[in-house]
Structure 1
């Protein structure tokens, strides 16, 4: 809902309160007394003091109705509706009063009525009622005033003006804080539908607020982001049921942009609760961290991946091997580790330089990766050495050995195929090289209950050297302690 439409709806509420009052008063309907708040004050048209007792005001109202029992009519001249705050509104009206008598007593005079309504619970109540009628029309003993309460009305107008200005100042401050900040401020209802989002979202993602408000919060995110937020929502529900719901929650999630791009946001979320403690909505702040995320990914890439082949490096291999050992303790399944060393890589480097050598290593990495499962790990150990980890094969040693042998032979055969390497040069002729390269592979089987990372790597390395000694271009098995 836009601010304009919300303001219009609010004006309808205030006008309905006033119209209901006029209908009951003009009809001399005793139900009007039910509209008064327990904390009531008012000036009568014929009184010279402030009434602070609701019962006294009810008595005055009934006296008014008894003096002129027939219906009266109001001829409206001007009407002002003022929205002071969420639970306080003011109506000021100028009008002619037409009584059901031949003598037009007040029909030529301008009377004024000020009503202040306050929301009490779920009902609007009248907390202040003030009539103002010209003092020359005063009659002793009548309900309508002996003296026009101009001073009191002016004081009330000043109070209303001050509160209105304070509200506008507060609203201006709120707009400055929400609309000028680079971070995105948002609110959700209890069903995770967006009820408000600040203009920063349009600057960052390109979506207008009208395209976001009223939609599910999941529409803000990429497919990966939806999975992240869905998990967080489920965890939040479980935490709420157990009474462990945190006051604040911070997480990082990818957002989708209108132009098809993706940005990362750091989200700070807080639940909103009613007086019973039930969650009725959420609000929070989203800060763009795309560049920070990119730098974090770069650091992670440099720390755990080989910059040339993009394969895991020694550090990440060690982590994967430890995970495989832990998984083997639970499942009692064997895993296999292969140590690979290219047999004739150095002559290629010496003859054609490191550029051609790097191209060969990249192609070797690709071929090895294509020979294993997605769940397996292919790592560059250093230079022309590679390691393959086949995690959780089977609990049968012979069957696991056969599977590892099959994969190793597949890799050996694939790496022995001819390599066609080319380098495009701007200042010299392009280079095209055909090269054949074999590999020596050492394999060890291990199970997590009786192995450690160092022993597994040592066993596979020793097996690889046995393959070298056996004539290269071969696969050699060496069992670790199991």
Structure 2
């Protein structure tokens, strides 16, 4: 197997070799470039997929085989990367890009490479589907591969998954490969400063991109002096709001997050020596000594023009992979979900900041502890773990997290199993998303759908449902139930003379009075306008006794509603006003037991009895009967 040197300088590549690369045919250039082939097949921790211009896979490295479970022969010259990607996410990406770029983009391979085909740097998240049907999240970087005429001859898709991230990052740092790649790269601007921001190192990539020689800037200016001043000011203002602390426009705004130990990648416009400008994606890292004191900052910038040449892409491959490790670790730490990694037995091995916030514990306290300990139902949490191990994933499993102070948070638990390159189970990667607001919103929506917004009483929809329940209960236990339908007799005149806002006050007071006349298990509902419904359940099995019981309740309500109303309100610019009003109610009552009709029948009968009471002079109670309605004795 060919080994790629740690450092490659321009002098290592003979001029004849460079010329020969330029002359290679489009379809052969990708496959026959020695440096690319060596880098691809020496990396088992990254999925490297190269396609032709139509998206058909031409190269499928050992890392792709390991992650996706396919042999290269299964996919080369047969499918596109879109065929091994989550179809819904591909559709969503196409729709998002269509809106973002104001051009129709077809779901499929085009959606995965559209930005790269336009020379736009593209790193995105995507779910890959393995040969066995299981899935895993990946961070994918896409590069358009071009020939010497700048025509696209294919695409390079580099993917990473969580199982390789931490080990690869640690190995890179120990080996010093990251530092070597940065300062040997002519396609990244690598600018190192001292603690005050004065530039100390200005690499060849920075010279090429910005047009300055290192000697022009070293020990003289800060990176803020070659950045768009308006954007630096805007960044300082935004960070001041975000972090609730004043941040000075200038170099401090460029490194403030990094100085606080927060991963920081942002967009910024650099200004070249000749005054021209180019957009850059800048990654900032605080450089610390052994005492953890900041001794400087490292700013790594990329621009879109740096990736137009296939040869440049080959030289940058190693560095790009390392940058993706940095980026994906940033995603882990800045994810809105509480993330944790456990071993197969459920012992926590890693967490992100959100998990610390959710549990109220530090990372050190969490690592080594059983993950189930941080949920109100440990057995249910353990059951979720068993589902993951059995089915390789679990989605939207609701749990309640509890922090060290007892605060509880409803979460949606999603998890998937993790494997090493030999497909040996290593543990579980889990995400717990706070769904407290979602559940509260659902409850609020349900309440709004079933209750009257003015009186907060059940509305017509909930009344019908509760009436069905009362009918079913009456059929089961053979005990009578009663429905009262009432209409306020003198309500319209109040609305006409005082306005609807005063009428609303009366309706609210009427609902309160009615509610005070019934048991807690009975239903009081606003049926519409000035109409109210009461359902009494679990009454006597004897009709005459039931009539007497319901009649007493109806009379109690009638008397309560007939008492004078003192309605106090304040109009804009006026003193508080009290309006006195008298308003009675006409009440129709229906008794039912073992009723096999519909709720509409009972409501219609009660309505008819109510109109009979209204026609007989109002402020009366009438029971529905197959014959003429009759006043309850004594009422």
Bigger mean CA deviation after superposition, 459-468 or 169-178: 169-178
Q: Does 1:182 align with 2:336?
A: yes
- Aligned equivalent of 1:319: 465
Q: Determine the C-alpha separation between the residues in 2 that align with 1:358 and 1:319.
A: 26
Shift in Å, 1:232: 6.3
* Aligned with 1:451 (options 589, 594, 597): 597
Q: Determine the C-alpha separation between the residues in 2 that align with 1:231 and 1:405.
A: 52
Q: 1:352 to 1:253 in 2, by over 3 A?
A: farther
TM-score (norm 1): 0.51
- What are the equivalent positions in structure 2 for 1:126-165 lying under 5 Å apart? none
Partner-residue secondary structure (3-state), 2:501: helix
TM-score (norm 2): 0.40
- Aligned equivalent of 2:483: 337
Confirm or deny: 8 A CA contact 1:444 1:480 kept in the other structure: no
Shift in Å, 1:381: 1.0
Any idea what the Cα deviations from partners look like across 1:157-212, whole Å, max 9, x if unmatched?
xxxxxxxxxxx999989965643321123579999998976421444676656787
Q: Does 1:414 align with 2:560?
A: yes
- Aligned equivalent of 1:356: 502
Larger radius of gyration: 1
Any idea what the Cα deviations from partners look like across 1:48-101, whole Å, max 9, x if unmatched?
xxxxxxxxxxxxxxxxxxxxxxxxxxxxxxxxxxxx99xxxxxxxxxxxxxxxx
Q: Determine the C-alpha separation between the residues in 1 that align with 2:437 and 2:328.
A: 29
- Aligned equivalent of 1:306: 452
Confirm or deny: 8 A CA contact 2:372 2:379 kept in the other structure: no
Q: Does 1:405 align with 2:559?
A: no
- Aligned equivalent of 2:537: 391
- What are the equivalent positions in structure 2 for 1:369-388 lying under 5 Å apart? 369-388=515-534
Shift in Å, 1:358: 0.4
- What are the equivalent positions in structure 2 for 1:56-75 lying under 5 Å apart? none
- Aligned equivalent of 2:353: 199
Q: 1:343 to 1:293 in 2, by over 3 A?
A: same
- Aligned equivalent of 2:28: none
Shift in Å, 1:384: 0.3
Partner-residue secondary structure (3-state), 1:450: coil
Q: Does 1:286 align with 2:432?
A: yes
Q: Does 1:423 align with 2:569?
A: yes
Q: 1:437 to 1:290 in 2, by over 3 A?
A: same
Q: Determine the C-alpha separation between the residues in 2 that align with 1:212 and 1:372.
A: 53
Shift in Å, 1:248: 3.5
Shift in Å, 1:215: 8.8
Q: 1:294 to 1:399 in 2, by over 3 A?
A: same
Q: 1:235 to 1:259 in 2, by over 3 A?
A: closer
Q: Determine the C-alpha separation between the residues in 1 that align with 2:483 and 2:396.
A: 39
Any idea what the Cα deviations from partners look like across 1:255-293, whole Å, max 9, x if unmatched?
678999875433347899xxxxxxxx9974321234434
Q: Determine the C-alpha separation between the residues in 2 that align with 1:297 and 1:361.
A: 25
Q: 1:297 to 1:452 in 2, by over 3 A?
A: same
Shift in Å, 1:409: 1.7
Q: Determine the C-alpha separation between the residues in 2 that align with 1:432 and 1:260.
A: 48
Shift in Å, 1:352: 0.7
Q: 1:447 to 1:180 in 2, by over 3 A?
A: same
When the two structures are aligned, how many residues end up with a matched partner? 306
Q: 1:181 to 1:459 in 2, by over 3 A?
A: same
Q: Determine the C-alpha separation between the residues in 2 that align with 1:361 and 1:435.
A: 12
**Runs of 5+ unmatched residues, structure 1:** 1-83, 86-167, 221-225, 273-280
Bigger mean CA deviation after superposition, 337-346 or 466-475: 466-475
Bigger mean CA deviation after superposition, 202-211 or 400-409: 202-211
**Runs of 5+ unmatched residues, structure 2:** 1-166, 169-321, 419-426, 628-635
Confirm or deny: 8 A CA contact 1:265 1:289 kept in the other structure: yes
Shift in Å, 1:345: 0.6
Q: Alpha carbon RMSD of aligned pairs, Å?
A: 4.8
* Aligned with 2:394 (options 248, 258, 267): 248
